[in-house]
Structure 1
Amino acid sequence: MPAPNTIPPAGNNPASAFERLLTIMNTLREQCPWDKKQTMETLRHLTIEETYELSDSILEGNMDEIKKELGDIMLHLVFYSRIASETNDFNIVDVLNGICEKLIHRHPHIYSDVIVENETDVKRNWEQLKLKEGNKSVLEGVPLSLPALIKASRIQEKARGVGFDWEEKSQVWEKVEEELREFRDEFNTIENTAIDKEKAEAEFGDLLFSLINYARFIDINPEDALEKTNKKFIKRFQYLESKAKELGKSLKDMSLTEMDVFWNEAKSI
């Protein structure tokens, strides 16, 4: 039986701590059956999962969990770099130097003589620099696979970065009301008549897009807002379920009036 590997000591500064992670990653990649088998493709869905776990921890404000999830993501970044180094495509040094050069280039107001007045100027310069780097559209940086709600926010932020935006939030709210009227016209709940689902869906999409736009103007992150509402609903619904169980009932056997009593109780907790 081979002797166990020497455990590298904990680092007492960023450089030594990062070096420790690299050493462990190299050892696992060379000796652990699971780690040896992984590819970028097999890690991809795990990385997505870790990112969502970090997002949950941030919304919950749990700093211990945030720290743990950041470590998990850091491991994945190191893992991808180790895999790429085996085929001589790039290594962790290339990755780190690459992001450093990018940050220096994208911040000429810090590392050069460009003058900015505010955050808006910084964002506008950022997008203009990306176009100079070869991007054909300011929207190219928005990943195709982003969830639609987040994608809408990023599209709007990118467009704003080059000056394509409303001037006043009152104009955006007028657009929300316009889209709401158009959606209502396609989905007439009062007359309960048949609707053109395709047109109604398009109008609903326009309404959501305008609401996300308004949220941006009043500095609300729509993804965070909706997720907090999801969590609130889950908490209240699970309270309703627990109360039904205490009564020996199933929710489907309860009236809406009975359920409303417990729902209102849950809102006060």
Structure 2
Amino acid sequence: MALLSPEPSHEADPIAEAVAIMARLRAPNGCPWDREQTFDTIKRHTLEETYEVFDAIERRAWPDLKDELGDLLLQVLFYAQMASEAGHFNIHDVAANLNAKLIRRHPHIFGDVEAGDSATVLRNWEQIKREEKKSSATQKDSLLADIPRSMPATLEAGKLGSRAAKVGFDWPDVDGLFEKLNEEIAELKQELQAAPGQASQIAAVEEELGDLLFTAVNLARHLKVDPESALRAANAKFRSRFAAMEQAAGGPEALTTHNPEQLEELWSKAKATVASASGASHS
């Protein structure tokens, strides 16, 4: 497979120019840093850029989002260029594969299948995916095999629960999940009381806490809430309240001079201050 041209053309459209620039950076006389990168060294940057896209969306910072989407596109260009150099595929193959998939999975648009609502569209999409996997030479032995272990744990947990639910292995309703949460909390408390500080106890506590978090993520799935977005919102709320605490105390260093009761009082006041500023009342 021929490599893409390493020379950018300013007369080309922006996407084609970006592809050519990346090829130039990876060329023998290109950028030393870019040439040293591998799939494994780049992947952590991909995750960082994805979260920066999330952040820009949540802040409704559209100029920032434009910039972050460009950084995310850079990751795609990097992977495609490295794959092209190794003879696996190039960016054109990536786009062609995507185009074919979009057409194949939207038969209600590009074919004669009827789909009057989004629920029907999703059912058709999943059915087409299952048929694709049946005909794939790389089909795995498990329904869960193609869910990457490398994705964020909350996203992985949600996808595992959702995939298992497709064969009926799921909690029947939200009440069952609340019961499961209480069960996991009780098991965690039990482990905390057993052999404190020993390695076996630490491992058991980690396992039970993991079960608790897994259940919470699947509760979010049942409630149709994105757990990652919910936690990010909670993180942002904590940041705001903590900043209000610092300001009320006279600065970050001043917090260290307060006892736990005083810190709790500052926290309560910070909650009220932030809630008042946002026009809302939250726990």
Shared fold, TM over 0.5: yes
Residue-pair matches, total? 255
Unaligned runs of 5+ in 2: 1-6, 275-283
Change in Cα spacing, 1:62 to 1:165, as seen in structure 2 (3 Å) is same
Residue 234 and residue 23 in structure 1: after superposition, are their counterparts in 2 closer, same or farther (change >3 A)?
same
Q: Tell which deviates more after alignment, 136-145 or 112-121.
A: 112-121
**Residue matched to 2:16:** 19
Identify the residue that residue 260 of structure 1 maps to in structure 2.
Answer: 264
Amino acid of the structure 2 residue aligned with 1:160: A
- TM-score scaled by length of structure 1: 0.78
In structure 2, the partner of 1:129 is: 131
Cα shift at 1:35: 6.0
**Contact 1:186/1:200 (8 A) holds in 2:** yes
- Greater CA drift, 206-215 or 27-36: 27-36
Could you tell me which amino acid in structure 2 is paired with residue 24 of structure 1? I
Structure 1, unpaired ranges of 5+: none
* TM-score normalised per structure 2: 0.75
Q: Deviations over 1:84-108 (max 9, x none)?
A: 3233321111111122223334445
Q: Tell me whether 1:81 sits opposite 2:80 in the alignment.
A: yes
Query: In the TM superposition, what are the counterparts of 1:83-232 in structure 2 within 5 Å?
Result: 83-108=82-107, 110-112=109-111, 118=120, 121-122=123-124, 124-132=126-134, 133=136, 134-187=139-192, 194=195, 196-232=201-237
Q: Which amino acid aligns with 1:266?
A: A
Q: Distance in 2 between matches of 1:88 and 1:172?
A: 48
Match of 2:57 in 1: 58
Write the distance in 2 (CA, Å) between the matches of 1:90 and 1:249: 55
- Check 1:94–1:6 CA distance in 2 against 1; reply closer, same or farther (3 A cut): closer
Amino acid at match of 1:244: A
* Letter matched to residue 101 of structure 1: A
Cα 1:224–1:56 change in 2 (3 A) is same
| Aligned residues of 1:120 and 1:161 also touching (Cα < 8 A) | no
Q: What is the match of residue 238 of structure 1?
A: 243
1:219 deviates by 0.9
Distance 1:258 1:168 in 2: 42
TM-aligned CA distance change 1:152 to 1:123, over 3 Å: farther
- How far is the alpha carbon of 1:59 from its aligned partner? 2.8
Query: How much does 1:79 deviate?
Result: 2.5
Deviation at 1:76, TM superposition (A): 2.1
Aligned equivalent of 2:46 = 47
Looking at structure 1, the residues matched to 205 and 8 of structure 2 have their Cα atoms a distance apart, in angstroms, of: 64
Q: How much does 1:27 deviate?
A: 4.0
